[in-house]
């Protein structure tokens, strides 16, 4: 595998897992930089006024990052990313009105032509109360106005997207009760599970014992 993307809604632990995987696998790491977006705090405070500018900034930022990956470069190192390009459209569909989305779609189709497809996508799932609690605990000022209603819409959008997702090998992880940052058992089980995976769709639920969960 040359390109692995970790995905899921805000607060689910994407960046933490991507960082650990990159360290374990000796991989390059490509992280989003949401706090660099000058419109993001305005969006969380008043979504209707800043949604389009926020989304267009992210679209340009993500496209520029991902276009550094060349699909036909046999010698490039493995790369771990904490996002999938398709998340940009997913967020746009949740946040933009009809006219804004039409403009966004035109730019998206033009800008993302050469964006590579991951070999593996790891989708982290967690319910809204868990996400909201984690967001509050990490204490990022720009996120203080994120509502449970907004998180619910994102969770629904992610669930629908990955229900239909077939572009790459997919691992769906129940992240509600795991701590990949502090639990060596949780993280070790995941690494062992990844080593046994082949193509298709897989499900992972960490066990309180040393053996990893199986596919279902």
Q: Which two tokens stand for residue 130?
A: 């868990």
Q: Which two tokens stand for residue 162?
A: 């990955």
Q: Give, rounded to a whole angstrom, the gap between the first and last alpha carbons of the chain.
A: 23
Contact 81, 4 (CB under 8 A): yes
Q: From CA 20, how far away is CA 71, in angstroms rounded?
A: 24
Catalytic residue among 28, 73, 82, 215: 82
Contact 109, 9 (CB under 8 A): no
Catalytic (active site) residue 82: yes
**Beta strand residue intervals within the chain, DSSP E:** 3-7, 28-30, 79-81, 120-125, 169-174, 201-204
Which residue, chain included where needed, has tokens 């949604």?
51
Give the other-Cβ count within 10 Å of 139's Cβ.
8
Taking the CA atoms of residue 84, residue 86, residue 88 and residue 92 in that order, the dihedral angle to the nearest 10 degrees is: -150
Catalytic sites, residue numbers: 82
């Amino acid at each position: 595998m040359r390109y692995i993307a970790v995905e899921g809604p805000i607060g689910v632990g994407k960046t933490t897992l991507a960082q650990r995987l990159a360290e374990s696998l000796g991989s390059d790491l490509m992280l989003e930089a949401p706090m660099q977006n000058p419109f993001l705090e305005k969006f969380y405070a008043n979504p209707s006024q800043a949604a389009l500018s926020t989304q267009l900034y992210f679209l340009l930022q993500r496209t520029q990052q991902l276009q550094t990956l060349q699909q036909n470069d046999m010698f490039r190192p493995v790369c771990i990313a904490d996002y999938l390009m398709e998340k940009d459209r997913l967020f746009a569909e949740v946040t933009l009105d009809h006219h804004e989305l039409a403009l966004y779609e035109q730019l998206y189709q033009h800008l993302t032509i050469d964006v590579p497809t991951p070999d593996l996508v790891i989708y982290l799932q967690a319910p809204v109360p868990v996400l909201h609690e984690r967001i509050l605990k990490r204490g990022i000022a720009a996120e203080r106005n994120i509502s449970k209603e907004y998180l619910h819409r994102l969770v629904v959008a992610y669930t629908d997207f990955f229900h239909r997702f077939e572009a790459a090998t997919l691992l769906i992880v129940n992240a509600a009760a795991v701590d990949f940052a502090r639990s060596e058992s949780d993280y070790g089980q995941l690494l062992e599970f990844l080593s046994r995976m082949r193509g298709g769709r897989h499900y992972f639920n960490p066990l309180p014992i040393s053996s990893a969960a199986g596919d279902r």
